[in-house]
Amino acid sequence: MTRFFVTPEQMLGDFIVLTGENAVHAKVLRLKAGEQVLICDGGGNECICTISDVSSNQISLVVNNRQESSAEPKVRASVYMAFSKGDKLEHVIQKATELGAYEIVAFPSSRCVSRPDEKSLAKKLERWQKIAASAAEQSGRGCIPKVLTVDSYKAALNRAAEADKAILFYENERATTLKMALEMEPFTSISLLTGPEGGLEPKEVEMAKDAGLHICTLGSRILRCETAPLCALSAVMYATGEF
């Protein structure tokens, strides 16, 4: 069933009207009166609707029934990724959304090559959020993950530490595996923090320890900065019964 995201306000009432990009998308799909579609508010609520009318610039729908999305993970997983070169972060946003991330947070660290200024960051955030929305629609999500940035590594650590379980992945860690960290205590929210292309500095790892994060290894192989967060997120989803 074709899925469309609208604002919570548009979900109110017994009738919904699709306009703008949603209407264009519906026409590209050649949807017709009588067909059913799924409408989501991006926050986990959805309704099954029947198309009642197709006009030149809008699609009219009748709400049949409402329900909570069954596609959202029980655990809220936040992916924290250091700013990276090129479109690596875009790739992670898309795939993390498909895998079930609750949010994606980008942050600066000492070895980051990419350091977008305020003006360019505003444009990037708009694009990144659209990528998340498109991936959520394609993968059947009930929620669109928020894409956020924080202005310092310390701010990223403090925010990540608010989760029930917060983990930083470091290539020189040997003792604690992700499996061990996940089994330490139950959790309903988790933060997964990874570094940039050049990795994290030892002092940054110590800062993470001081902030209360678990320091873990992702195995004996060095993973690329765009591979590590997706590997960790996939492992969390498997460990919590999502796969």
* Mean pLDDT in order along the chain per 10 residues (243 residues): 90 92 90 93 91 91 91 95 94 98 97 86 94 93 94 97 98 93 95 95 97 95 95 97 92
DSSP code, position 168: E
The answer on 186 and 163 residing in a single domain is yes
Q: Which amino acid type is present at position 113?
A: V
Number of domains in the chain: 2
The answer on 38 and 136 residing in a single domain is no
The answer on 191 and 131 residing in a single domain is yes
**Of 68, 97, 117, at which residue does a domain stop?**
68
Query: In sequence order, which residues have a C-beta less than 8 Å from that of residue 29 and are 6 or more positions away?
Result: 2
The answer on 52 and 85 residing in a single domain is no
The answer on 25 and 110 residing in a single domain is no
pLDDT of residue 113: 85
CA–CA gap between residue 134 and residue 117 (Å, rounded): 25
Q: What is the CATH number of the domain that holds 92?
A: 3.40.1280.10
- Residue span of the structural domain in which 50 resides: 3-68
pLDDT of residue 117: 83
The answer on 61 and 159 residing in a single domain is no
DSSP code, position 110: T
CA–CA gap between residue 87 and residue 96 (Å, rounded): 14
Asked if residue 82 lies in contact with residue 169, where contact means CB atoms within 8 angstroms, the answer is no
pLDDT of residue 97: 98
Query: In sequence order, which residues have a C-beta less than 8 Å from that of residue 121 and are 6 or more positions away?
Result: 149
**Of 15, 36, 68, at which residue does a domain stop?**
68
- In this prediction the pTM is 0.87
Terminal C-alpha separation, the chain: 22
